[in-house]
Structure 1
Amino acid sequence: MSIDWKKEVEQRKDALLDDLVELLKVRSDREDDKATKDAPFGPGPKNALIHMLGYGERDGFTVKNVDNYAGHIEYGEGDETLGLFCHMDVVPAGDGWDTDPYVPVIKDNKIFARGSSDDKGPSIAAYYGLKIIKELGLPLSKKVRIVVGTDEESGWGDMEYYFKHEEKPDFGFSPDAEFPIINGEKGNVTITMHFDGSNAGSFVLESFDSGLRENMVPGTATAVFTVDDSAVIADLTVAFEEFLKAENLKGELVAEDSLVKISLVGKGAHGASPQIGVNAGTFLATFLDRYDFAGGAKNFLHTAAKYVHLDFYGEKLGVAHEDARMGQLTMNAGILKFGPDFDDNKIALNFRYPTGVTGDSLQKAISDLLGDTGTATKGDRDMPAHYVPMDDPLVATLLQVYEDHTGEKGYEQVIGGGTFGRLLERGVAYGAMFPGYTDTMHQANEFMSLDDLFNSAVIFADAIYRLAK
């Protein structure tokens, strides 16, 4: 049977875009302070999950909500299940947007909003791929289940809960990365360095605040400190202006009597690619490290400045490693907090590591480096490296679909980002971004090209059908 998938998507593109716009309006970043038993990650992720499942109910699919942790939209019958793993949660919007991040705007053939490319846009494209198959009445020999998560950007507690209540699909993919395929993902773990809150110098660090999530490069940083010398403050003001000029950064210093507040603006980016961002937190630490802080405050600033600043590959930390297939270890300092207003004085380092490294080995190395200046702990989520071979029928089929629709040769890729594709032994990430795309995930002014949105729906429809027919 020959099916013109592009024509089928073209007939539905207005409806697809309308559904995406409404979904993007649902703010869905995790809010632990608003979490309840009924909304385990806060109201936003719950509302977005219900909204997405509502599309499935509207269109006649089998739908299940698993206690607002996750849910699924299912179609077809068979002994095997093909899983598509999407997520409705998003990272916080952060600063630097030209438009309201929760009011979708279409301009220059792109849709701008938080979640447009990660992962609501690709989720809607995949959903419409299955919707087309259902509306055409195409026969399938397997179940197809779109699993919708709500905590992908944080701790994956949604999937942990979901799979305590539902069976795992046999194989599948997550539309949460790029084409032609992601069949390998580095390991992922966060090692947090902890410092005591003491101050003992002529400069007293009252607070240091930078970073929203471990997997985001901090785009802003603010430090508040006291120094009882007006002449020193005058010199400090001049030095800060020189620092901004030398580093080509923007910032502000405000002094009132002995209290000084410094704000610095960098550039946010996805924590899997820290080298494309500008970490405002570590830059601010390097500026402050030259002054007379002492005690835990000095240890905090000096560690960030000497061992973390511009160390994207763990070289200064002594943990650099490279694998022939998976490439280099990368490291992102996603959260830097100091002061009594925070639950901890810490620097959280998110590592994406190849084979040959473990979370335990990273923790030990950093603990040894800190010595008696601090301690190092490993986060609860330590995901080892994941790889599905090129000759696996899943990978081969998905690459063939990509080649058939683009005319371009498919090839394997390994990334530092972690997707739900790794939930399955035979799981990969597939789309929805095409080679050469501009990566705005986890950044201000996130967008998805409408051409990529519709073309990915074409590929998803054909891929689902070939894998499940």
Structure 2
Amino acid sequence: MDKMLESKIDAYIDEVWDDVIRDIEALVAHPSVSDASKAQPGAPFGPEVRAALDEALGIARRLGYETGEDEGYIGWGDLAGEESAQVATIAHIDVVPAGPGWTGDPFTVRHREGWLIGRGVSDDKGPAVLSLYAGAFFKHEGITPRYAFRALLGCDEEVGMTDVHHYLETHENPAFLFTPDAEFPLCNAEKGLFGCTFASAPIEGGLILSWSGAEATNAIPSESVVELAIDAAELPQPRAHADRLTIEAVRPGVARVTAHGIGGHAAMPEGTLNAVGLIVGYLRELTGVLAAGEERFLELLALVHDGTDGAAMGIASADEAFGPLTSNAGVIAVVDGRITQSLDCRCPASITADEIEATLCELASRYGATVEDVSTKVPFSVDAAHPAVQTLIDVYREVTGDTEAKPFSMGGGTYARNFACAVSFGPEEPMANAPAWVGPMHGPDEGASEAALRRALKIYILALVRLQEIDL
């Protein structure tokens, strides 16, 4: 690495770091869960998301960007370049709901032993702030980059990415874009997505009054609560996972069963334990207690929750490029006398959405259930040999010393798949390196290492500098 350039980058990070942390704290303070039902003029995803976007645009203006927005769907900060071609980043300022299990206020950043804890510090408000400060390095040093730089700020990544769809209707694709919304070193391929909802037939004489799980389909629930029209004293103690299940009386004739699992992101189920699945297991122990329609649907749910590879449902598949299919059944509810269960699958190219849908519809029909609200996205990839991809990998190797680093595929769905030439590029670190009290993204006590964020900022600055040196 050019020692003079490295010295300038290090000095810049030292100078701005306290501001970086304060800006992350300010952005996390907004409970910006995207909700189109709360849409207002200029705020298509609700006032909380709009407030977070205004916060982020204010940071951008303070750093010297020219700012703009697309009717509240997405915002950006611009730095002019010598050429019209554009290098861009995109991060999102919306978050998944906080959910249960937090040991402190999810929207107040807590500092503990070099970690930041709060909803969005990792996914994706912390990285959004890093992207703004990375581009601002040019302004700080008085450099006019070869390519224009745009730091995009999305508002609907966690729900449907309608923000970028709206943006791309009237704006050109950048020459190259990366999103700081994955693990390092670099993801150039994303699995396809398949989502649906299983719905039971109307249930006569049901005892399941309510049932909760994850608050978002792409979250693995850490807690699930079911209320039953039965006295708590009549319920047996669980035979399996007794340490994770509690039974209590709500009132005479109504009992509550609570399950505590291990939450996480639907794309990365390893090491998690779905709390809804724990409830399913317990309810199936209640032989002859529930209504016939409930028992029948629970038979289906037992298959849905039998592992995270889809094998019990008949949809397991894997290929060399993308790895195995993963599945998560997160959001569950009782609505109008029916039980509904969401399914979120991350799919390799070895199985199509039509094949999955046909298999699941046939499976559901065996239990008198239906498959509804199907949504799909095809797998996405960018050639690892692309010069911009190689530039980012080279920068990561240079800063970290990891000479074996190479692009990988993942199950997570990021903004990258919506653009013509884009990848996801950190800054997350493997959770195996985190203390036990740090939670994953989408889970309670979501955390980010301050040291890792500092290193990521250095990587992003150097990456933006190096991208100016190649032909795009």
If the length of structure 2 is used for normalisation, what is the TM-score? 0.91
User: 8 Å contact 2:247–2:255 — kept in the other structure?
Assistant: no
Matching residue of 2:155: 150
Matching residue of 2:94: 89
Task: Indicate the SS of the match to 1:370.
Answer: helix
User: 8 Å contact 1:170–1:424 — kept in the other structure?
Assistant: no
Alignment of 1:345 with 2:342, yes or no, is no
Task: Indicate the SS of the match to 2:43.
Answer: coil
User: 8 Å contact 1:117–1:448 — kept in the other structure?
Assistant: yes
Matching residue of 1:189: 194
Q: Distance in 2 between matches of 1:360 and 1:137?
A: 53
User: 8 Å contact 2:122–2:446 — kept in the other structure?
Assistant: yes
CA deviation string 1:62-94 (max 9, x = no partner) = 211211111111112223111201000011111
Task: Indicate the SS of the match to 1:276.
Answer: coil
What amino acid sits opposite 1:392 in the alignment?
A: H
Q: Distance in 1 between matches of 2:16 and 2:341?
A: 47
CA deviation string 1:183-209 (max 9, x = no partner) = 111111202111123125xx6222222
| CA-CA distance at 1:60 after TM superposition | 2.4
What amino acid sits opposite 1:390 in the alignment?
A: A
| CA-CA distance at 1:461 after TM superposition | 0.5
Matching residue of 2:320: 324
Q: Distance in 2 between matches of 1:199 and 1:205?
A: 11
| CA-CA distance at 1:118 after TM superposition | 0.5
Task: Indicate the SS of the match to 1:311.
Answer: coil
Q: 1:204 to 1:127 in 2, by over 3 A?
A: same
Match among 57, 69, 73 for residue 65 of structure 1: 69
What amino acid sits opposite 2:465 in the alignment?
A: Y
CA deviation string 1:82-116 (max 9, x = no partner) = 12010000111111112211111112011111000
Q: Distance in 2 between matches of 1:387 and 1:38?
A: 33
Alignment of 1:28-427 (within 5 A): 28-77=32-81, 78-200=83-205, 204-227=207-230, 234-236=233-235, 238-240=236-238, 242-245=239-242, 248-254=243-249, 256-290=251-285, 291-292=287-288, 293-305=290-302, 307-340=303-336, 345-371=339-365, 373-380=368-375, 382-409=376-403, 410-427=405-422
CA deviation string 1:309-355 (max 9, x = no partner) = 232000000000010121100000011112438xx631111000011
Q: Distance in 1 between matches of 2:13 and 2:341?
A: 46
| CA-CA distance at 1:6 after TM superposition | 2.0
Q: Distance in 1 between matches of 2:237 and 2:158?
A: 38
Q: Distance in 2 between matches of 1:33 and 1:427?
A: 30
Alignment of 1:7 with 2:3, yes or no, is no
Q: Distance in 2 between matches of 1:250 and 1:207?
A: 17
User: 8 Å contact 2:214–2:330 — kept in the other structure?
Assistant: yes
Q: Distance in 2 between matches of 1:234 and 1:21?
A: 47
User: 8 Å contact 2:245–2:257 — kept in the other structure?
Assistant: no
Task: Indicate the SS of the match to 1:400.
Answer: helix
User: 8 Å contact 2:306–2:312 — kept in the other structure?
Assistant: no
User: 8 Å contact 1:180–1:431 — kept in the other structure?
Assistant: yes
What amino acid sits opposite 2:40 in the alignment?
A: T
User: 8 Å contact 1:224–1:259 — kept in the other structure?
Assistant: yes
What amino acid sits opposite 2:450 in the alignment?
A: L
Task: Indicate the SS of the match to 1:147.
Answer: strand
What amino acid sits opposite 1:260 in the alignment?
A: A
Task: Indicate the SS of the match to 1:68.
Answer: coil
| CA-CA distance at 1:432 after TM superposition | 0.7
CA deviation string 1:288-325 (max 9, x = no partner) = 123332354233322112x1223200000000001012
| CA-CA distance at 1:378 after TM superposition | 4.7
CA deviation string 1:22-67 (max 9, x = no partner) = 1111221123443334322121111111110111222221211211
Q: Distance in 2 between matches of 1:219 and 1:433?
A: 21
User: 8 Å contact 1:286–1:309 — kept in the other structure?
Assistant: no
Q: 1:40 to 1:454 in 2, by over 3 A?
A: same
| CA-CA distance at 1:437 after TM superposition | 4.4
| CA-CA distance at 1:356 after TM superposition | 1.7
Identity of counterpart residues, as a percentage? 28
Matching residue of 1:444: 444
| CA-CA distance at 1:239 after TM superposition | 2.7
If the length of structure 1 is used for normalisation, what is the TM-score? 0.92
CA deviation string 1:4-35 (max 9, x = no partner) = 22222122111211211111112211234433
Q: Distance in 2 between matches of 1:6 and 1:185?
A: 33
Q: Distance in 2 between matches of 1:425 and 1:82?
A: 12
User: 8 Å contact 1:207–1:340 — kept in the other structure?
Assistant: no
| CA-CA distance at 1:255 after TM superposition | 5.9
Task: Indicate the SS of the match to 1:275.
Answer: coil
Q: Distance in 1 between matches of 2:269 and 2:457?
A: 30
Q: Which ranges of structure 1 fall in alignment gaps of 5 or more residues?
A: none
Alignment of 1:16 with 2:11, yes or no, is no
Task: Indicate the SS of the match to 2:168.
Answer: helix
User: 8 Å contact 1:217–1:279 — kept in the other structure?
Assistant: yes
Q: Distance in 2 between matches of 1:169 and 1:296?
A: 53
User: 8 Å contact 1:205–1:224 — kept in the other structure?
Assistant: yes
Aligned residues: 455
Alignment of 1:423-434 (within 5 A): 423-434=418-429
